[in-house]
Structure 1
Amino acid sequence: MGQPFTDPRSPHQKIAAEIRRRITRGDLPPGSKIGSTAELMAQYGGVANTTVQKALQMLKAEGLLEGLPGKGVYVRPHAQQSIEPITYLKPAIPGEPYPWISEATKRQQAGRSQLLDVNVVVPPAEVAHALQLQDGERAVMRKQILLLDEQPSELTRSYYPLSLAEGTAILEKKRIRGGTATLLNTMGFPPREFTDELSSEIPTEEEVAALHLPKDMPVLVAFRVVYTDEQRPIEATFMTKAAHRYRMRYRLPIE
């Protein structure tokens, strides 16, 4: 047998990983005070003060911890949030904003979307296959950033068959009130079903910049395909989030 594998990370990365996991699993809920430097030094085998400080600084950069002068270091509100995808797929009630904004309000957060780009493109192969497009057939790509309390939360790239989008607001370089699901519903294409494929990936340069990601932080990428009646695909979307800040929640019936 070969040599046993050991964790090659530096001591401060290991400590940060332990504290991060306690935060994401709820053992350190929002508002919890982290132990003092001396307590953490003793807890982690007598490591140096600088090692503890580097671990805490890493978690502050990730948005999980915040230092309050004269009080200590605490877990930030909304350090990690659960997302229930079905909530955002339902068309908005007429006159209501995009569901992302409505759901943020329920959590006492300010949510908004910022449209970055609208273009007619030849989509990636995965998208073309999902939308059942022919070789070289084009689609409309809408790119936007979703923000919570003015902090970037999710980068989305949504694709729609050009044959479906022509002559509609999907092609316009402005936000759609209620979101595209609401528009498609009014066009006679209600969302009936969706599939999600989730992966943890190394972020691209665009994703690091858009989401203000700290160094070496992976992203959670959900590739979603939405279908209307008769299993017709009407939307394919890449949704990219900081992997340490969110988890996806699904509730499905067991037949």
Structure 2
Amino acid sequence: MPEPHKDGRPLAERIAAEIRKAIMSGEWEPGRRVPTNEDLRAQYKTSNVTIQRALQILKDERFLEGQTGVGVFVRRDHAQTIIPAHYIAPSEPGQPYRWLTEATTRQQRGKYKMLEVGEVVPPAEVGRALRLEDNDTAMLRSRIGFLDDQPAELAHSYYPIDLARGTRLADRRLIPGGSPALLLDLGYPTRSQDDAVAARPATTEEYEALEIPRDVPVLEVFRIVYSDHERPIEVTILTKPSHRFKMGYRIEAP
């Protein structure tokens, strides 16, 4: 039989992982005071130094907040669940992109900042998803989404050149109503989308753009949007800081 896989991480990292899970799950509510070092030492049967190291990891990751002379507390905001199905339909005429209106319903301020728009040779996985030949180009639109002035997502969206060239998809400005509304106007309604979700360490671009603390991973969503006849009309690589967001999906039974 194979040897059992044991957790060889330092004890401080293992303790931080247990507390991090309690915070992300909501077991430790926002604003809760963290147990004293003495209580944590007794719970985990370790030294004060190890407990301090574990708490410092979580402070660096912004899961915990220290208040001088008062104590250590769970951060005030809980992990937010993002439900992709809320954004698949185009906005109503004259309305902003659904990502922005959904933020408003949650009493948040949403905004986008465009980073890059242009014709590029996409990554190989994007080219395959768009059914492009080798060295074919696609239209890239890169942007950062902010919620309450904090970076919430980094999105790189790619569109077939024959569909995007000469349209607002090639314009550096934001698109009124977002790309789903424009694609609908162009005769390409959204019919379905495939999402593949992964967790991984942040690239330098993601680390800086999303203000990732310490070694917190990002959630990556590789999304293919299809129109009529299963034609792929958009591929987006979306990354979000995993200490602030969860992805939510509802699947109906067949």
Fold similarity call, TM over 0.5: yes
Shift of 1:2: 6.1
Structure 1, unaligned runs of 5 or more? none
Q: Deviations over 1:19-40 (max 9, x none)?
A: 0011112211222221122222
The equivalent residue for 1:87 is 86
Q: Distance in 1 between matches of 2:138 and 2:191?
A: 21
| Shift in CA distance, 214/126, structure 1 to aligned 2, threshold 3 Å | same
TM-superposed deviation, 1:74: 2.3
In 2, distance between residues paired with 1:60 and 1:188?
50
Q: Distance in 2 between matches of 1:85 and 1:93?
A: 17
Q: Which one is further off, 127-136 or 30-39?
A: 30-39
* Pairing 1:156-171 to 2, within 5 Å after superposition: 156-171=155-170
CA deviation string 1:37-68 (max 9, x = no partner): 222222221322x3323322222222322233
Counterparts in 2 of 1:119 and 1:14: CA distance versus 1, 3 Å: same
The answer to whether the 8 Å contact 2:180/2:189 transfers is yes
Match of 2:133, SS state, is: coil
CA distance in 2, matches of 1:142, 1:180: 10
Deviates more, 1:79-88 or 1:96-105: 96-105
Measure, in 1, the Cα distance between the counterparts of 2:126 and 2:162. 15
After superposition, the C-alpha distances for 1:165-189 in whole angstroms (9 at most, x for unaligned) are 1111111111112211121122221
> What secondary structure is seen at the aligned counterpart in 2 of 1:190?
coil
Pairwise CA distance, 1:249: 1.2
The letter for the 1-side match of 2:253 is: I
| Native 8 Å contact 1:63 1:79 kept in 2 | no
Flag the 1:147–1:12 CA change in 2: closer, same or farther, 3 A: same
Alignment partners' CA distance in 1, 2:38 and 2:106: 35
Question: Is the CA contact (8 Å cut-off) linking 2:62 and 2:213 kept in structure 1?
Answer: no
Q: Give the structure 1 partner of residue 17 of structure 2.
A: 17
Letter in 2 for 1:177: P
CA spacing shift, 1:36–1:105, aligned 2, 3 Å: farther
Deviation at 1:219, TM superposition (A): 1.7
Gaps of 5+ in 2: none
**Residue 218 of structure 2 contacts residue 240 of structure 2 at CA under 8 Å; is this kept in 1?**
yes
Contact 1:64 1:79 in 2 (8 A): no
TM-score, with structure 1 as normaliser: 0.92
**One-letter amino acid of the counterpart of residue 83, structure 2:** E
Instruction: Name the residue aligned to 2:38.
Output: 38
